[in-house]
Amino acid sequence: MFEQLVNSPINLLDPKTFVLLLILVVLEAVLSADNAIALAAIAQGIPSPQEQRKALNVGLVLAYILRIVLILAATWVVKFWQFELLGAAYLLWLVYSYFTSKKEEEEEQENPHHLGNRSFWQTIPLIAFTDLAFSLDSVTTSIAVSDQTWLILIGGTIGIITLRFLAGLFIRWLKEYTYLEDAGFVTVGLVGFRLLLKAFDSPLVPPEWLMISSIILILIWGFSKKNEQVQEKIKD
């Protein structure tokens, strides 16, 4: 794929190229919604809002580097189902950690934070590797749309920028909506389960349209109830 990147002509004035780039950007935006809420919830584990933003910035720079490596090595990576299995295991572990720690904290009558409060440097690799696990699916989708590596790289770059702004919004919304964090981790579980089925080449792998529809419905549930404390502050 690296040779293809070097040898492929870049012509943004070509209407076909422009349409393909537009499709890739839309795909990145749609596939980034569940990723963004997961990264926002991870960053929320840092008590300081300033450190949260900084962790997102640094974590996503590292995530971008890992994405580029994944895209350049994609034709090799897709031959090994073990990568999808590792990605699925990581995402499912995140979901398990979130719900088990939340239950423990509720029993202790503390404010729920998945995986507990974490330091800045603990959060950065979590952000980077969570994005990488999500990227396994989106990069495969991008390759199916276009065989032009440089085009996929541009789409991925725009996707990371979009992800940063979406994650920033979700950090604010996580405090405003009661079910949003739970909804985010349910979508993480769905993506992890789909990767698990793909790793074993199962005929039960749900199609992309069904995954997107399911995620939209889950996010609608996530936004269905506002936090009462936030509503009271707005009234005051």
- Can you give the pLDDT of all 236 residues of the chain as single tens digits? 434 434 444 454 456 666 666 666 665 666 667 788 888 888 888 888 888 889 989 998 998 898 888 877 776 776 778 888 888 898 888 888 888 877 766 655 444 444 456 788 888 988 998 888 887 766 766 665 555 677 777 777 777 887 888 888 888 888 888 888 888 888 888 888 988 888 888 788 888 778 878 888 988 998 898 887 655 554 55
Cα gap 19→21, rounded to integer Å? 5
- The burial class, CB within 10 Å (0-12 / 13-18 / 19+), for 215 is buried
Domain total for the chain? 1
Cα gap 164→229, rounded to integer Å? 27
Structure-block tokens of residue 80: 């090994």
Say if CB 190 and CB 210 are below 8 A apart. no
Tell me, what DSSP letter sits at residue 8? S
For residue 3, the model assigns a pLDDT of 44
For residue 58, the model assigns a pLDDT of 92
Contacts of residue 104, defined as CB under 8 A and 6 or more positions apart, other chains included, come to none
Find the domain containing 73 and state its range.
2-235
Structure-block tokens of residue 92: 């499912």
For residue 2, the model assigns a pLDDT of 38
pTM to 2 decimal places:
0.68
Say if CB 56 and CB 168 are below 8 A apart. yes
Say if CB 70 and CB 214 are below 8 A apart. no
Say if CB 113 and CB 105 are below 8 A apart. yes
For residue 73, the model assigns a pLDDT of 79
Nearest CA-CA partner of 140 in 71, 188, 211: 71
Q: How far is CA 128 from CA 83, 101, 123, 160, in A?
A: 16, 21, 9, 11
Cα gap 203→223, rounded to integer Å? 33
